[in-house]
Structure 1
Amino acid sequence: MKPNEVICLTPVFNDWESLSILLSDIEKQAALNNEYKFRAIVINDGSTEPMTKKILEKNIDVEVINLKLNIGHQRAIAVGLQYISNEIVKELKIKGISGHVVVLDGDGEDKPSDIMSMVQKANNEIVFAKRVKRSEGIRFKIGYYFYKLIFKLLTGKAINYGNFSAIPFSLIKNVALLPNIWNHYAGSIVESRIKFSSYPTERGNRYAGKSKMNTMNLIIHGFSSISIYFDRLCFRVLKFSFISILLCSALISFVLYSRLFTDNAIPGWASSLILIALSIVVQLFSVTFIILLFQLSTRRAISPPNKKLYLDFINREKHG
């Protein structure tokens, strides 16, 4: 009987020490689960520091895909998923081998000890790790709380997932072809119609060094997830603007009625303030409506998914 495959996909930028420890922990999971064959696909996202030799000296198959330049961890994941879909899973399916692709970060915060639980749950759906306990500082937790709040307010949806996930081979092609996956991996799946669920996990501690993700990158990453829902965002802004226009109109009508038909004392600045507020809301409504029309007009040009886009980023000369 052929063993199921677990392909661990992780992007890395200069964090070779953490990656080496991660691969050792994946080795331990492979030793505990003989019915599965583990391998690791490492996406070297344009690292400026040389890879340590011990990365390849593991008891599991490790393949390092070197990119031509640094493109960011979300796009690095997209490259890896397309590479695995086109050059690994396709061949394994011909041989009658099934399995899962597990996407995880290489710093230790995604714990390899959770891999098998997620894989066993991911039958015909993608399973995301949902954090029930986080290990970051209070400042990050506060920032993350407001990020989720803003995301919910702007898009009407909740997002509680990061990169850590298990994808069945049967869905890997669908995921690799998602156009928004190049901006935000988790957000693109949540926005799509691909079935997914979650598995409760605790966030691990970083293996070594410091995170390469600074505040600016975190903010950009957050906006990338929101940009996927641009149409929905525009609609919600239009809805908010329309409701605001109705409220301002009602207030103006009330002020005019009170001045013309009652003896109630109305401050002189009240009507001016309401008119200013109404003009701002009308402008917001108009600009948002025009942007939404422009966005919808671009849909007339249908662009088929480019399943070979990953080839433009891979450095075949240094492919190890």
Structure 2
Amino acid sequence: MIENVVIITPCFNENTTVISFLKSVENVIKNLSQNFEVVVVDDCSSDHTLSLLKEFKFTASNAKLTILELKFNVGHQAAIYQGLLYSSELDSDKFIIMDSDGEDDPKAIEDLVKFQDFDIVNVARGRRKESLSFQTSYYIYRFIFKIITGKILNFGNFCMIKKKVLKTSCYTGFIHFAAHLSKQKVSSTSIVYNRLKRIDGKSKMNMTSLVHHAFKSFVEYAEELLMVFLRVFMLIIVSFFGFIGIVLYKKFFTEEAILGWASTMTVSLFTTALICIGFFVIGILLLNMISQKNQSKREIFNKLSEKND
């Protein structure tokens, strides 16, 4: 029996870039033995992307194109989620997620489909063709992420997942797909491919979007962040009562003068403790809200076409 593989790729205002991407994917998959359904999730593009997609047609006999038009713009990560929702009902156990701007090397598909015994196969990033300042900021972000979570996030959206992982992602939801995958308690491995230059040469990822992207990855580890605040709170409380004990001991049991900055230090410790416990309580409430929101996820796409030769 011929194996079916689904490729999910979100796009927004890519114009001819997405067409070039689809052609490069076809050049790889036409030589493979599997059947491929490429699911392009158009995130309510405002340019000619959608009309170009409607005109495009694979020539390879083992490739089929499906276009999902989102009813409104939801952003890159939510577009991936909509692609997963649609694909969850397809007859396949291998799902490849990749970006449509050309930075994810389609040649990796040939290696990804060979894996059988892993639930997640990430494509770790090799060299990046970005500015020095962007690369420096990105490595700082990865370092902070490792300190807080204990995980090394050296991959992005480009990966292959099995259906049980896809089902889990559809049920729980996510706002940062890579961080979400790094939390899954399943068998995983990775391969390394260098990031290519965008087909049109204009990267949509700048310093501001990198910061936003980083914040979203930390939200996926909200419980771990809350535990950091809780540990800091406990440390401050212990320090607070220890400091109070020293002050009271000196006042009632010794002739030593109480340090002039003692009251300031005591108030500062108490205030910091209140801030930490406040973050902890607010975090718990937000986690509950996120959990309830995830349970209400719905499909918001129209399936426009399904084409093959």
Sort the TM-score into its range (normalised by shorter chain).
0.7 to 0.9
Structure 2 partner of 1:148: 142
**TM-score of the superposition, structure 2-length normalised?**
0.84
Deviations 1:73-121 (A, max 9, x none): 10000000110112xx2xx3xxxxx552110001111101111212222
Q: Which has the higher helix share?
A: 1
Higher relative contact order (CA 8 A, sep 6+): 2
Q: Distance in 2 between matches of 1:123 and 1:205?
A: 31
CA pair 262-21 structure 1, distance change in 2 beyond 3 A:
farther
Question: How many matched pairs?
Answer: 300
Q: Distance in 1 between matches of 2:293 and 2:14?
A: 36
Q: State the 1:135 CA deviation.
A: 2.2
CA pair 298-220 structure 1, distance change in 2 beyond 3 A:
closer
Unaligned runs of 5+ in 2: none
Aligned partner letter, 1:261: T
Q: Does 1:174 align with 2:168?
A: yes
Q: Distance in 1 between matches of 2:170 and 2:295?
A: 9
Structure 1 partner of 2:302: 315
CA pair 242-209 structure 1, distance change in 2 beyond 3 A:
same
Structure 2 partner of 1:10: 9
Structure 2 partner of 1:218: 210
Contact 1:155–1:232 (CA under 8 A) maintained in structure 2:
yes
Q: Does 1:165 align with 2:159?
A: yes
Q: Distance in 1 between matches of 2:242 and 2:22?
A: 64
Deviations 1:275-302 (A, max 9, x none): 1321222212331343355457779x97
Q: State the 1:20 CA deviation.
A: 1.6
Q: State the 1:225 CA deviation.
A: 1.7
Structure 2 partner of 1:95: none
CA pair 5-303 structure 1, distance change in 2 beyond 3 A:
same
CA pair 25-303 structure 1, distance change in 2 beyond 3 A:
closer
Deviations 1:155-184 (A, max 9, x none): 4444332100012345433333232x2x12
Structure 2 partner of 1:238: 230
Q: Distance in 1 between matches of 2:116 and 2:178?
A: 16
Q: CA RMSD in A?
A: 3.0
Structure 2 partner of 1:58: 58
Aligned partner letter, 2:235: I
Contact 1:124–1:170 (CA under 8 A) maintained in structure 2:
no
Bigger drift between 191-200 and 52-61 goes to 52-61
CA pair 296-144 structure 1, distance change in 2 beyond 3 A:
closer
CA pair 114-293 structure 1, distance change in 2 beyond 3 A:
closer
Structure 2 partner of 1:26: 25
Unaligned runs of 5+ in 1: 93-97
